[in-house]
Amino acid sequence: MKCITVDQQLLKSRLHYDKDTGIFVWINPTSKGIKKGTRAGCVSNEGYWDITFFGRRFRLHRLAWIYIHGSIDEGMQIDHINGDTTDSRLVNLRPVTQFGNQQNQRRARVDNTTGFMGVKKNGNNFIARIRANNKEVYLGSFRTPELAHAAYITAKRKLHTTCTI
Instruction: Please say if the pLDDT value at position 98 is more than 90.
Output: no
Instruction: Please say if the pLDDT value at position 159 is more than 60.
Output: yes
Q: What is the pLDDT of residue 163?
A: 66
Q: What is the pLDDT of residue 157?
A: 79
pTM to 2 decimal places = 0.73
The mean predicted confidence, pLDDT, of the chain is 88
Tens digit of pLDDT for each residue in 12-52?
999 999 999 999 999 988 788 889 999 999 999 988 999 98
At 1, the pLDDT band (50, 70, 90 cuts) reads very low
User: Exposure string (b/e) for 95-128, b if CB count within 10 Å is 16 or more?
Assistant: ebeeebbebbeeeeeeeeebebbbbeeeeeebbb
Fold of 8-96: Homing Intron 3 (I-Ppo) Encoded Endonuclease; Chain A (3.90.75)
Q: What is the pLDDT of residue 30?
A: 79
Fold of 100-159: GCC-box Binding Domain (3.30.730)
Instruction: Please say if the pLDDT value at position 106 is more than 90.
Output: no
3-state secondary structure of 125: strand
Q: What is the pLDDT of residue 5?
A: 74
The percent of residues in the chain predicted with pLDDT above 90, rounded, is 53
Q: What is the pLDDT of residue 165?
A: 65
| Residue ranges per structural domain of the chain | 8-96, 100-159
Q: Tell me the C-alpha to C-alpha distance, in Å, between residue 159 and each of 43, 58, 103, 104, 119.
A: 32, 32, 9, 11, 16
